[in-house]
Amino acid sequence: MDILYILWLRQIKRYLRSRARLIGSLGQPLLFLFAFGFGFGPLYAKAGGGNYMQFLAPGVICMAILFTSVFMGIEIIWDRQFGFLKETLVAPVSRMQIMLGRTLGGATVATLQGVIVFLIALLAGFRPEHWYSAALALPVMFLIALLFTAFGTGIASVMSDFHGFQLVMNFLVMPLFFLSGALFPLNDLSPALATLVRIDPLTYGVDALRGAFLDTAHLGMGLDFSVLSLITVLCLVVGSHLFSKIEV
């Protein structure tokens, strides 16, 4: 348990020390929040959808968590390049514990990013249905962060090139975001698009966060939590296996 705590704390301290990285990672979510929220808001209202900022904010919060979580995996490549990973791996603890500690730290950082975007969304006009719903939103945010941090860690464990990791992540992450329903309602989709949306794990995170904040879960909170929990466990198992095979 000591190594889990040490690695968890190390990941948080490392990220918070990099102020440029902390601020820079907010750029894209804020662009979507303000450009889409205020740009498409009037069109969304005229179409009978209501307040687009209310609809969009949970999706943008998930976006911030997704990008921060997945790209935490690149730190494994960085540590491998500069020899820090070897120092960690020679410790008298299992690699599974090391992977879990790093993943929990990365998920905590990603959740903090989501909280920051939530606070900024409040300034932009977003209002939860009930203020106590933030208590339910936090576990949802952490579950999303844990899933995609484990996912990013697993991908980084089998790669050794920074540029290759970024290409793979952009190829996977952007479709995950755009097909999650973060920007558009899930009603009346074509069969092909509806199928893609249903197999996207982030869809259930976005829907669960909307359910927590606005009581408007399209798929149902029970299904959202079940799917997120199942895929999170799967990613942790696969990520742990791939990390255990890593060579430095």
Tens digits of residue pLDDT in 108-147: 888 989 999 999 999 988 988 877 777 889 999 999 999 9
Which residues does 137 contact at the CB level (< 8 Å), separation at least 6? Answer: 118, 128, 209, 212, 213
- Please tell me whether residue 247 adopts helix, strand or coil conformation: coil
In tens digits, what is the pLDDT along the chain, a chain of 248 residues? Answer: 565 666 667 666 666 666 556 666 777 888 888 888 888 888 778 777 788 888 999 999 999 999 888 887 777 777 776 666 666 666 666 677 777 878 888 888 889 899 999 999 999 889 888 777 778 899 999 999 999 999 988 888 887 776 776 777 678 888 999 999 888 888 888 889 889 999 999 999 999 999 999 888 888 899 999 999 999 999 999 988 887 777 65
Q: DSSP string spanning the chain?
A: -HHHHHHHHHHHHHHHH-HHHHHHTTHHHHHIIIIIHHHSHHHHHHTT---HHHHHHHHHHHHHHHHHHHHTTHHHHHHHHHTHHHHHHTSSS-HHHHHHHHHHHHHHHHHHHHHHHHHHHHHHT---SSGGGHHHHHHHHHHHHHHHHHHHHHHHHT---HHHHHHHHHHHHHHHHHTTTSSS--TT--HHHHHHHHH-HHHHHHHHHHHHHHS--SS-HHHHHHHHHHHHHHHHHHHHHHHHT---
The predicted model scores a pTM of 0.88
